[in-house]
Structure 1
Amino acid sequence: MKLSVVLFFAGFFGALAAVFLLLSFGTDYWLLASETCDPGELPTVGPGNVPVERGDMVVQQRSQDDATFHHEGFFWRCYFKDRMEEDTLLKFWFTNQPPSKLCMHSYQFPFPFSEKNNNGTDYDSAIIYRGFWSIFMLVGVVAAVTAGFIIICAAPFASHRLYKAGGGLFVTAGFFFLAVIVMSVIWVEVLDTLNRYVEQQRILKCNNFQLSVQYGLSFMFAPVGVFFSLLAGLLFALIGRSLHVQHQ
């Protein structure tokens, strides 16, 4: 009876882990960013070619689409132009994004670098970092899905080895996704990649170039999936151990 209860909760936590890990893997909202470029220079000539003197108030017309929004994940990186508002998170909802959004495959493509405007060393290092990030995420997803199939084959209490194997794969998936989360935080918070990108854009575009970076829903799903994956893995390992002791 106790094993049946533990098996129920282990299966429930394992299902939640698989759902959250797949959502994190399949949605392209790991990183959200918005770029603005305000020239910040007042014109010297006003309407009607009237020279602007000190003390005159000049209202500058800003473009309706005055900001560029980015979001990216494992499969795609997309960007679109829209008006900057206070709550930029609403811009990234599926229903709010304009049809003019452009997307490209993000495999081996390190945000926000492009090969054209960066030196070879930085670009190669970014590709290696992104490559390990993608591999860890892919291995984590495969491990979680495989663990689910193994647990289904093990029910009900057919083999302690299958329960142990499924539990071990759930734990493996949790640790690999934990590494993915840590690498994402290091990429944004520790490495100076984004700072170099901002400095470069200030040279190429304008002095007041601003980049705002946020973590998206895909990033938020990952820690939840890691928690349930580790918990399910430990419970399945405990079930396998208990069955092994009973059979002896």
Structure 2
Amino acid sequence: MKLSVALFFAGLFGALAAVFILLSFGTDYWLLASESCNPDGSVGPGGVAIERGDVVVVQKETDDAVLYHEGFFWRCSFGANMRDENLLWKLWFTNQPHSKVCMHAYLFPFPVSHQTHNATEYDSAIIYRGFWSIFMLIGVAAVVLGGFFIICAAPFASHRLYKAGGGLFLSSAFFLLCVVVMFVLWVQVLDVVDIYVDHQRTALCPDFTLSINYGLSFMFAPVGIFFCLLAGLLFLLIGRTVQIHYH
């Protein structure tokens, strides 16, 4: 009876882990960002400075911000109006304009180039992105393969397959934890964001502003890691129990 209960919860945790990890991997909402220029209205049409007493005639409401979201596969951007009360909702699935442009994901959170980074920084960013992508792929592959091993282990009560499945779930949790930590370091600790902002202010707009938020894809990853750890430990325990009592 205890073994049946443990199998039920281990299978439930494993299924939840796979769902959250695949959602995190397959949806492109690890990063949500908005960038805008001249939020205080000090520059008028054509880049002419507005002084006190000047009258500005606006013919129509235009987009004054760029919103984008990014994940493992795609980086999508589109224009928006900062005065829109539902600005944040435009970052989600159901309320995005037809002008949305998507491209293969660059080095997150912003595409680096030789113009904004020197050669050493550019190469380091490529290597960092490469490891992040590899760890992500290993974590996803491990949880899928672990689930396959567990399904094969159930009919035969194979302690080796249970242990192998548990080990794969734990391995997936480890690599995905590395993915989350690397992402946080990239956004919060490393200076890539500051370099990007400084370049935009120097080259394009002195009043350039940037807002960054973590998206649902990023939030799904720690939940999947938690369930991966629980499932992995339970399957290892089940494999040990089966080995002791049934072999």
Q: Residue 3 of structure 1 aligns with which residue? A: 3
Q: Residue 69 of structure 2 aligns with which residue? A: 71
Judge conservation of contact 1:113–1:123 (CA < 8 Å) in 2: no
Q: Residue 127 of structure 1 aligns with which residue? A: 126
Judge conservation of contact 1:42–1:58 (CA < 8 Å) in 2: no
Amino acid at match of 1:111: P
| Structure 2 spans left out of the alignment, 5+ residues | 45-49
Q: Residue 151 of structure 2 aligns with which residue? A: 152
Q: Aligned to 1:117, what secondary structure does the other structure show?
A: coil
Amino acid at match of 2:27: T
Trace 1:203-218 onto structure 2 (pairs within 5 A). Answer: 203-218=202-217
1:105 aligns with 2:86: no
Q: Residue 41 of structure 1 aligns with which residue? A: 42
Amino acid at match of 1:170: F
Q: Normalising to structure 1: TM-score of the pair?
A: 0.90
CA shift, 1:92, in A, is 1.1
Amino acid at match of 2:21: L
CA shift, 1:158, in A, is 1.8
Q: Residue 20 of structure 2 aligns with which residue? A: 20
Distance in 2 of aligned mates of 1:141 and 1:28: 15
| Structure 1 spans left out of the alignment, 5+ residues | 44-51
Q: Aligned to 2:241, what secondary structure does the other structure show?
A: helix
1:31 aligns with 2:24: no
Trace 1:161-172 onto structure 2 (pairs within 5 A). Answer: 161-172=160-171
Trace 1:232-243 onto structure 2 (pairs within 5 A). Answer: 232-243=231-242
Q: Aligned to 1:109, what secondary structure does the other structure show?
A: coil
Judge conservation of contact 2:6–2:238 (CA < 8 Å) in 1: yes
User: Relative to 1, partners in 2 of residues 1:29 and 1:60: Cα closer, same or farther, differing over 3 Å?
Assistant: farther
Q: Residue 228 of structure 1 aligns with which residue? A: 227
Deviations 1:23-82 (A, max 9, x none): 000000001110101175356xxxxxxxx875x264574852110011111111111111
1:245 aligns with 2:244: yes
Judge conservation of contact 2:81–2:87 (CA < 8 Å) in 1: no
Q: Residue 46 of structure 1 aligns with which residue? A: none
Give me the CA root mean square deviation: 2.1
Distance in 2 of aligned mates of 1:137 and 1:216: 17
Distance in 2 of aligned mates of 1:116 and 1:237: 49
Distance in 2 of aligned mates of 1:86 and 1:209: 21
CA shift, 1:114, in A, is 3.4
Q: Aligned to 2:111, what secondary structure does the other structure show?
A: coil
Amino acid at match of 1:182: V
Deviations 1:111-165 (A, max 9, x none): 3123253232222111111111111110000000000000000004521010000
Judge conservation of contact 2:66–2:79 (CA < 8 Å) in 1: yes
Judge conservation of contact 1:110–1:126 (CA < 8 Å) in 2: no
Distance in 2 of aligned mates of 1:169 and 1:233: 7
User: Relative to 1, partners in 2 of residues 1:166 and 1:189: Cα closer, same or farther, differing over 3 Å?
Assistant: same
Q: Aligned to 2:213, what secondary structure does the other structure show?
A: strand
CA shift, 1:199, in A, is 0.5
Distance in 2 of aligned mates of 1:128 and 1:42: 40
Q: Residue 47 of structure 2 aligns with which residue? A: none
Q: Aligned to 1:77, what secondary structure does the other structure show?
A: strand
Distance in 2 of aligned mates of 1:157 and 1:238: 17
Distance in 1 of aligned mates of 2:43 and 2:108: 36
Distance in 1 of aligned mates of 2:240 and 2:92: 45
> Which stretch of structure 1 is more off in the superposition, 86-95 or 151-160?
86-95
